[in-house]
């Protein structure tokens, strides 16, 4: 994975909400890592489902993809898929650059 910035275009009306939103996604990564350590597929499924639901609403469509893959991996008890997508999500969050636009 490269360290190139991932530019996401977000409605300027959401600007005040984005820092808290992204902070909560960092907390989700910690929850996912803890759930991996405990092999808790229900928490993994739940957090993945939440990520799938919230990402697109704010304009973070790739987050939705990673969340869906984590949720599906949890349903299949597949730690490899889950780990891979947690890494992708973490990388994504570390490299996301927000471009606020008037809608």
In the chain the domains, ranked by start, together with CATH numbers, are 6-101 (1.20.120.160)
Identify the pLDDT of residue 3.
77
CA dihedral 1, 41, 33, 59 (to 10 degrees): 60
Mean pLDDT per segment of 10 residues, for the chain of length 103 residues?
87 95 97 98 98 93 97 98 98 96 87
66-89 b/e with 16+ CB inside 10 Å = b? bbbbbbbbbeeebeeebeebbebb
- Entry field: residues in the chain: 103
Q: Cα 55 from chain centroid?
A: 7
């Amino acid at each position: 994975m490269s360290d190139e910035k991932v530019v996401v275009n977000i409605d300027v009306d959401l600007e005040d909400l984005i820092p808290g939103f992204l902070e909560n996604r960092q907390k989700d990564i910690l929850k996912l890592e803890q759930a991996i350590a405990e092999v808790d597929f229900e928490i993994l499924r739940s957090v993945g489902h939440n990520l799938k639901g919230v990402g697109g609403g704010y304009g973070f469509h790739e987050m939705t993809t990673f969340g869906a893959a984590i949720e599906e991996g949890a349903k299949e008890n597949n730690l490899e898929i889950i780990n891979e997508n947690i890494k992708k999500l973490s990388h994504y969050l570390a490299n996301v650059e927000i471009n606020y636009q008037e809608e």
